Structure 1
Amino acid sequence: MKEIPFNPVSAHSLSRQIADQIRNAILEGSLRADDRLPTEGELAQRFNVSRPTIREALKRLAAQNLVRSKRGPTGGTFIQTPDLLALSESLASTTTLLVGFESFTWDEVTQTRLEMEKTCARLAAAQRTEKDIEQLEATLKTQANEALSAEELCVSDVQFHRQIANATGNKMMSYLMSSVIEALQPATNLAAFRHRSHAVIYDQHRRLLDAIIDQHEEEAASVMDEQVNYMAQQLSDARKAHNQANQS
């Protein structure tokens, strides 16, 4: 078992301080994936705190997907490599809450989405693979069905934009964009899609995919700009209609 030089902690937020020290040891490389942490009792003695405080610290780390527990004779608490999907879902959930509580203005939301989506469109046009094209074509085929409900079109739209992010070939961009798409699009699009034209959305997606297929980076970014601004206008109209309905 590795000897990690943990520091004593003060009485304020003990579990957080302990979790932060273990997290820092992971980031610095002192602790690596599959390393076994000392037992609760040993950690409690090292930090001079109670076992419940250690358990709370370990819960914090587990919530960050940094440790896992295993039972049995060879069990214990082990360091694990963070799972990108789980972390992305956590980031999306947090972003959704912040959007819901209006921590950002809608102008900020639209601007963020616009700039990130345009970057994704350019990168996707430059880096897309045949598999990416097949997936995007399949999603677009679904959207060609004019009988889709607003909810179904919204789900398909989210999938389409996530596939574009994945087509960038940049895992960091895909990770960040998945949180933006999952958090911002359902909240904005479902309202906006009730005021949108299915035909307009499909046409924009068709032209966007054609630009990606042809590897026309600036054309892809231009069509993405057109769509995000179109959806922003539809959302604005939807919010105005909602406010007017509440006032009447």
Structure 2
Amino acid sequence: MSFTPEPVRRPREQVEKQLRDAIVSSSFKGGDRLPSEAELAREFQVSRSTVREALRVLVSEGLISKVPGAGGGSFVQSVDHDSLKSLLSGSLETILKFGKISIDEVNAVRRMLEVPAAREAAEHRTDAQAAELERLVQRQDEMARAVTDRRDPALYELGQSIYSLVAEASGNRLLASFVSAMAGVTIPVYMRDLPLEDAEAAREGTRALVAAIVARDAEGAEAAMTAQLDMVQRHLSPAG
């Protein structure tokens, strides 16, 4: 694919836009290596530092990754709902660490998305998804009986898988990406702060949610998800 300079745009913007368009249009596909910085600079008629700035933006957007070394370079990432989930998770985690948003704000958005998602999951889940939800809950119960620390990270990784699958069962991949990203940020904090005596109550809530989805009980699924998020809010809110 050839590139041409666009004088109406700033040099970095023209590089960034044309590369982004080429990736989105699949002129460059997932796994493809982009031309070198020197080649791009020559083709766009800009400096290598300008190309480097444009590539840095595309890395931050999750469109490409940089691999160092002799066999490295800039490689196109797969652009789908899974890559969006990874990008959102990383961004949310960074923003939370810097205190730009609060955990309460994340929980509020989780409530806006996950309560409707639970209802949608009960209405649209497939038999395979129902079976996998039941398997995950059973695995979580077995692990809870086997471990000495009820806050074992593996238990909450299973919990995250369950809630991500609930969102996936809603049938909306974009919704599932947002839910998985926020659960990935919230659950580790919840795991750290959850009192031991409440760990079983949290798992009981998960069992109730899955049972409602399996039974195609939309109202029950909505109520169970609301109760779970209420528990999260009590333990993570500064006032809780």
**What TM-score comes out, normalization by structure 2 length?**
0.77
1:245 alignment partner in structure 2: none
1:7 alignment partner in structure 2: 6
Is the contact made by 2:40 and 2:51 (CA closer than 8 Å) also made in structure 1?
yes
- Distance in 1 of aligned mates of 2:196 and 2:236: 8
Question: How far 1:112 sits from its partner (Å)?
Answer: 0.9
- Among 32, 40, 51, the residue aligned to 2:27: 32
Question: How far 1:125 sits from its partner (Å)?
Answer: 0.4
2:175 alignment partner in structure 1: 173
Residues 130/109 of structure 1: CA separation in 2 closer, same or farther (3 Å cut):
same
1:141-190 CA distances to partner (integer Å, 9 max, x unpaired)? 13323454303332222121112112222211111211111122222x12
Counterpart secondary structure, 1:207: helix
With 101-110 and 170-179 compared, the bigger mean Cα shift is at 101-110
Is the contact made by 2:34 and 2:76 (CA closer than 8 Å) also made in structure 1?
yes
Residues 211/20 of structure 1: CA separation in 2 closer, same or farther (3 Å cut):
same
1:214 alignment partner in structure 2: 215
- Distance in 2 of aligned mates of 1:80 and 1:163: 23
- Distance in 2 of aligned mates of 1:44 and 1:90: 27
- One-letter amino acid of the structure 1 residue matched with residue 182 of structure 2: V
Is the contact made by 2:111 and 2:229 (CA closer than 8 Å) also made in structure 1?
yes
Give percent identity, aligned residues only.
29
- Among 84, 87, 98, the residue aligned to 2:84: 87
- Distance in 1 of aligned mates of 2:211 and 2:139: 16
Counterpart secondary structure, 1:23: helix
With 120-129 and 78-87 compared, the bigger mean Cα shift is at 78-87
2:230 alignment partner in structure 1: 229
- Distance in 1 of aligned mates of 2:34 and 2:106: 41
Is the contact made by 1:165 and 1:174 (CA closer than 8 Å) also made in structure 2?
yes
1:44 alignment partner in structure 2: 41
Question: How far 1:235 sits from its partner (Å)?
Answer: 2.5
2:99 alignment partner in structure 1: 102
2:134 alignment partner in structure 1: 137
- Distance in 1 of aligned mates of 2:128 and 2:213: 13
Aligned residues: 228
Residues 222/162 of structure 1: CA separation in 2 closer, same or farther (3 Å cut):
same
Is the contact made by 1:95 and 1:183 (CA closer than 8 Å) also made in structure 2?
yes
- One-letter amino acid of the structure 1 residue matched with residue 127 of structure 2: E
Question: How far 1:61 sits from its partner (Å)?
Answer: 3.0
- One-letter amino acid of the structure 1 residue matched with residue 138 of structure 2: K
1:187-220 CA distances to partner (integer Å, 9 max, x unpaired)? 2x12332355233122211211111011111210
Counterpart secondary structure, 2:152: helix
1:89-109 CA distances to partner (integer Å, 9 max, x unpaired)? 121011012122222234322
In the alignment, structure 1 residue 197 sits paired with structure 2 residue 173: no
Task: State the Cα RMSD in Å.
Answer: 3.3
Is the contact made by 2:117 and 2:167 (CA closer than 8 Å) also made in structure 1?
yes
- Distance in 1 of aligned mates of 2:138 and 2:78: 37
- Distance in 1 of aligned mates of 2:194 and 2:74: 47
In the alignment, structure 1 residue 155 sits paired with structure 2 residue 144: no
Is the contact made by 1:33 and 1:78 (CA closer than 8 Å) also made in structure 2?
no
Is the contact made by 1:191 and 1:235 (CA closer than 8 Å) also made in structure 2?
no
In the alignment, structure 1 residue 111 sits paired with structure 2 residue 113: no
Residues 196/225 of structure 1: CA separation in 2 closer, same or farther (3 Å cut):
farther
**What TM-score comes out, normalization by structure 1 length?**
0.75
User: Which runs of 5 or more residues in structure 1 are unaligned?
Assistant: 71-75, 242-248
